[in-house]
Structure 1
Amino acid sequence: MTAYALAHLRKAPIHTDVLEYLERIQATLAPFEGRFIVHGGSVDVLEGDWPGDVVIIEFPDLVTAHSWYHSSVYQEIKPLRTRHLTGEVILVEGIETDHSSSRMAAHLRRADNL
C-alpha cells in the first residue's frame, strides 16, 4: 500500500545548507521510488494555524519509506535541513483505492458496540 513522508516545515531564512539539501534530496529518493507530490507551494489555511510549508513524498509502501528515511544517503544530508528548519516529519500509510469512510465508520461502530 502506498505510503507518504509528510513534513510541516516552519518558514526560516534560506541558508546555503538548505539549498544543498534541496540539491541532493532527489538523488536519495530515486533508489526508493520516492517522488514529490507536494513540495512547498501556497497553503490555503481553512482551519487552525499552519505556519510554514508542506512537503509530501510518495513511496510504494511504508517499509520502503522507512528504508529511505533511515538510509545512510538520506541521513547524510538530513542535518543540512534540521540545523536550519524546524517542523514535524511523519511517515503515514495510504489507503486502498476502494476506501470508503462510511465502511470505516461501520467497522468502528461494530468494534466499539456503538
Structure 2
Amino acid sequence: MTAFAIARLRDVKMGPDIQSYLARIDDTLAPFEGKFIIHGGRKKVVEGQWTEDLIVIAFPDFDKASRWYESPAYQNILALRTGNSAGDVILIEGVPQNHRATDILAGMEL
C-alpha cells in the first residue's frame, strides 16, 4: 500500500544549505522509488490559516518510506534542512483505492 512522507515546513531560509539539500534529495529517493507528489505550489486557504509549505513524497509502501528516511544517504543531508527550517515530518500509510470514509468505523464501538 502506498505510503507518504509529509512535511509541513515554515521559516525556510533559502540559502546555500537548502540549495544543496534540494540538489541532493532526488538521489536519496531513487533507491526507494520515492516521488514528489506536492512540493510547494499554488494554494488557496479555504479554512483556518496555513502559512507553511507542504511537501508530499509517495513511496510504494511504508517500509520503503521508512528505509528512505533512515538511509545513510538521507541522514547525510538532513541537517541541511533542519538547520535552515522549522516544521514537522511524518511517514503515513495511505488507503486502498476503493476506500470509503466509513471504512474507519469498522471494528469501532460506537
**Shorter-normalised TM range:** over 0.9
2:69 is aligned with what amino acid? Y
After superposition, residues 1-114 of structure 1 pair within 5 angstroms as 1-105=1-105, 107=106, 111-112=108-109, 114=110
2:87 is aligned with what amino acid? G
How far apart, CA to CA, are the structure 2 residues paired with 1:29 and 1:95?
22
Q: CA deviation at 1:62?
A: 0.6
Q: Secondary structure at the match of 1:7?
A: strand
- 1:6-48 deviation line (CA, Å, top 9, x unaligned): 0001043311100000000000000000000001112221222
Q: Secondary structure at the match of 1:8?
A: strand
In the alignment, structure 1 segments of 5+ residues that lack a partner are none
The two structures, once aligned, show a CA RMSD in angstroms of 1.2
The ranges of structure 1 where at least 4 consecutive aligned residues each deviate by more than 4 angstroms after the TM superposition are none
1:5 is aligned with what amino acid? A
| Matched length | 110
How far apart, CA to CA, are the structure 1 residues paired with 2:12 and 2:91?
23
Q: CA deviation at 1:49?
A: 2.1
- Percent identity reads 46
How far apart, CA to CA, are the structure 2 residues paired with 1:104 and 1:80?
38
Contact kept, 8 Å, 1:34 with 1:58, in 2: the verdict is yes
In the alignment, structure 2 segments of 5+ residues that lack a partner are none
TM-score of the two chains, using structure 2 as the length reference: 0.93
Bigger radius of gyration among the two: 1
